[in-house]
Amino acid sequence: MAKITDLSKSRYCKGVQCPKILWLEHYKPEEKADILPESVLENGNRVGDLARRYFGDYSLVEFSFDKNVMTAQTALFIASGSENVAEASFLTEDGLYCAVDILRKNEDGWDIVEVKSSTEVSDIYIEDMAFQYYVLTKCGVNVKRVYNMHINNKYVRRGELDLKGLFRLEDYTVKVIEKQSAVAENIESIRSYISVDDEPARDIDVYCEKPYECAFKGYCGRHLPEHSIFDLAGIQARTAYKRYHSGIISFEDVLANAKELKLSDKHRRQIEFTLNDLPDEVNAEKIKAFLDTLTYPVYHLDFETYQQAIPEFDGVSPYQQIPFQYSLHIEQEDGSLEHREFLAKEGTDPRRALAEQLVEDIPVRVCSLAFNMSFEKTVIKNLAELFPDLSERLLDIRENMHDLMIPFKDHDYYSKAMMGSYSIKYVLPALYPDDPELDYHNLDGVHNGSEASDAFAAMAQHSPEEIAVIRQNLLKYCGLDTYAMVKVLRKLKEAAGE
Ligand code: SF4
């Protein structure tokens, strides 16, 4: 029977971030929000599976809810002379447990290899490795070196996957040994913190955001007023917590200390509109000037992209943005619309087919429009570099692109409901509140960009019937993105009196 003072490496790392996470997980699990995207877990699993092959043959300790079964299997592999043991498990008598991603034989001792799907090594990973070293040495293992194996984002796939190129192996032995006395102290303080039955007091701070956003933020921040310093658009977490701890918590507090805080016009506007319930502010002249830069027909364009931790196609790097879909609403001056779209076949490199159709769908020297165009421009630039024969036409689209976000970014159209933001997520519902046609919640399966990425990345693993449904969901989602732009442009025209 597990005890609250038992610590695995993930529980230890949570305890280092904030011991109250462990207390709440035990006593108030119902307060935990679900915040980890599926793609993070999926990427982590795939990278872990592949990394095991880095050193050649290996023995895998099968997962069991009974840790003693895993430690016994580990001991058997070690005794039978296995050189590489994946998920090698160790449990101390006082309930410290870890499964080492790869335990690798090194002469008369062993190396710990911790695998991460990220492209760099953060401080919490070093804590994680230090805990593993502590547990293994307590179990009598002679640990020689400690390595972190992570993704090399400079790797470009050419033909078969080259594991030595895909992964970077960095030696953290010295840093990990330096941390050993701190690990012992951390274990003691975490254990004494979580052993009390009454809820321990702990105020919110930057550790609620880093190294991971805490799933209990809603619970621990329940004392905050409806509009707090944390709601100021774009405020840095460190700055917000500093203000909070100095007693500047509500929007009223911020206004009262505006001079000392050097409050920006943007934040002042956000606060005043919120507190005073002000009507929309419209600068018709400037909006008209923006509209005059557009020529008809206008090509409303939006891409969807996804990333692969392990590149599946030639010429792709880990975590490179790969466009797989676009939606295009072509709007004539009289308001009539034509819709075109592209959605790649699952499991194929989508880039060439997408680029070819894009240059067919958008003629040269026409006005294309994107919301926050830097993203669309980067996608097109990358495609132009990849396909020199299409480069001229692709770059023509890029050069003639306009940004629908500008009037909102410049606050030429501002509404209280935008809450200081000019992202489409805030702008659209502010312009069209309660419009079911424009409500992404009413879509099936895919409601945002990250769900679209996950859906496409996983599509090839589904049955043909399921694929048909997912494709429909993706097309509806991306189609709504550009239709929303059409509606936003209409609102701007109304505001400019056109
Ligand atoms: S929200 Fe903050 S204070 Fe509360 S458990 Fe999480 S990290 Fe700790």
Atom 3 in ligand 1: residue holding the nearest Cα: 204
Distances (CA, A) of 444 to 329, 433, 451, 485: 21, 20, 11, 20
Given a cut of 90, is residue 228 above it in pLDDT?
yes
Ligand 1 atom closest to residue 20's alpha carbon, by position in its atom list: 5
Q: Which of 286, 287, 251, 248 is nearest to 267 (CA)?
A: 251
Q: Percent of the chain having pLDDT more than 90? A: 94
220 Cβ below 6 A of ligand 1? yes
Whole-model pTM: value is 0.87
Ligand 1 atom closest to residue 207's alpha carbon, by position in its atom list: 7
What is the 19 CA–ligand 1 centroid distance (Å)? 8
Q: Percent of the chain having pLDDT more than 70? A: 98
Task: Convert the pLDDT of each residue in 351-373 to its tens digit.
Answer: 999 999 999 999 999 999 999 99
pLDDT score for 467:
95
Atom 2 in ligand 1: residue holding the nearest Cα: 208
Domain at 9-194, CATH class: alpha beta
Helices 373-386, 351-361: axis angle to 10 degrees equals 110
pLDDT score for 259:
94
- Beta strand residue intervals within 254-376, DSSP E: 281-282, 298-306, 322-331, 337-343, 367-370
Overall average pLDDT of the 120-148 stretch: 97
Task: Convert the pLDDT of each residue in 462-475 to its tens digit.
Answer: 999 999 999 999 99
Overall average pLDDT of the 380-406 stretch: 97
Given a cut of 60, is residue 17 above it in pLDDT?
yes
What is the 32 CA–ligand 1 centroid distance (Å)? 11
Overall average pLDDT of the 344-349 stretch: 93
Task: Convert the pLDDT of each residue in 88-128 to its tens digit.
Answer: 999 999 999 999 999 999 999 999 999 999 999 999 999 99
What's the rounded Cα separation, in Å, for the pair 384 and 391?
A: 4
Given a cut of 80, is residue 256 above it in pLDDT?
yes
The 3 state secondary structure assigned to 209-234 is CCCCCCCCHHHHCCCCCCCEHHHCCC
Ligand 1 pocket check: which of 11, 13, 16, 20 to mutate, most ligand atoms within 8 Å of Cβ? 20
What is the 262 CA–ligand 1 centroid distance (Å)? 29
What is the 24 CA–ligand 1 centroid distance (Å)? 9
What is the 237 CA–ligand 1 centroid distance (Å)? 14
216 Cβ below 6 A of ligand 1? yes
What's the rounded Cα separation, in Å, for the pair 98 and 90?
A: 6
214 Cβ below 6 A of ligand 1? yes
CATH number of 286-495: 3.30.420
Q: To the nearest whole number, what is the mean pLDDT of the chain?
A: 95
What is the 201 CA–ligand 1 centroid distance (Å)? 10
Ligand 1 atom closest to residue 202's alpha carbon, by position in its atom list: 3
Task: Convert the pLDDT of each residue in 181-215 to its tens digit.
Answer: 999 999 999 999 999 999 999 999 999 999 999 99
207 Cβ below 6 A of ligand 1? yes
Given a cut of 80, is residue 43 above it in pLDDT?
no
pLDDT score for 127:
97
Ligand 1 pocket check: which of 28, 31, 204, 206 to mutate, most ligand atoms within 8 Å of Cβ? 204
Task: Convert the pLDDT of each residue in 289-313 to its tens digit.
Answer: 999 999 999 999 999 999 999 999 9
Task: Convert the pLDDT of each residue in 413-465 to its tens digit.
Answer: 999 999 999 999 899 999 999 899 999 999 999 999 999 999 999 998 999 99
Atom 1 in ligand 1: residue holding the nearest Cα: 217
